[in-house]
Amino acid sequence: MNPTTKKPATDKKATAPTKDGAKGAPRQYDDSPGGIYFHAGVIIGKKNVFVTGEYIETMVNALKMAEVKSDIKNLAYVIMPNHFYWLFKMSDKKNNAGEVVGEVKKQTALAIMESLKKEIKEDKPFPIIDLFKGNKCVGRSLPQKILWSFEEQAKNFDTNSRFKVWTPKTGLYRVENDEKLREKIAMIKKAPVSERWSLVSEAKNYPYLYLADELAESGDEQICLQTFLPSLSQVAAVPFKA
């Protein structure tokens, strides 16, 4: 493309603000109310934080609380040792997906920091859950080292935060068609059985993977946007990549 040529209007990108004032991930969708969104959250430095019951519970509770506080519906999510995938539907009256994600990650970051400091103060690291024990792919650094890593990572950003828990700009996308919806659900289901982790042999046996009833009871080919957006007639094609 010639440098002087303007990009098509449908190629627009925006930045989703988060509660802590930092700019969020690039968004490639319209801002109309409602809709289904996918987000991938990654612990900075890919530290294995979600390997103890305490930290996993923190993440799960935050996603559940988002339904109550932000009027969303969780469609699917999976909590992995150092990241999570999240698929959710916004209220038909709201279009603040970036704020919803920002609030969840802000609250979990605070809770993670509190738990790390508690482990250090009591000199009693939380035990790794049985499911992860013996898995060579799932190790855990000492709480002191994780906290130090978060402090060092924060120095790479122009903020007033002393610590940085989440990798910034890891993706927030509006799911625009049935193919992308199936793709994201497949990504969520594949995570714990992937060769990278090999946590379980079947996704249904992974306790930290959630599927809404509509998805759990449907075959892959039956999954479509209209299941969750019954008033949908035709979604405009907005190019993006996940």
Tell me what pLDDT residue 221 has: 72
Residue in 217, 235, 218 with CA at minimum distance from that of residue 178: 235
176 belongs to a structural domain: yes
Residue 103 CA to chain centroid, in angstroms?
12
Sorting pLDDT into bands at 50, 70 and 90, what band is 55? Answer: very high
Residue in 190, 223, 194, 221 with CA at minimum distance from that of residue 204: 190
Domain span holding position 124 = 34-227
Count of structural domains, the chain: 1
pLDDT tens readout for residues 92-103: 888 899 999 999
> Do the Cβ atoms of 94 and 33 come closer than 8 Å?
yes
Q: How many residues does the chain have?
A: 242
242 belongs to a structural domain: no
pLDDT tens readout for residues 9-33: 333 333 443 433 344 444 444 567 8
Is the pTM value of this prediction over 0.85?
no
β-bridge mates for residue 103, sequence order = none
For the chain, percent of residues with pLDDT exceeding 90: 68
Tokens linked to 75 = 């469609």
Residue 72 has pLDDT above 60, yes or no: yes
CATH classification at residue 130: 3.30.70.1290
203 belongs to a structural domain: yes
235 belongs to a structural domain: no
Tell me what pLDDT residue 27 has: 47
16 belongs to a structural domain: no
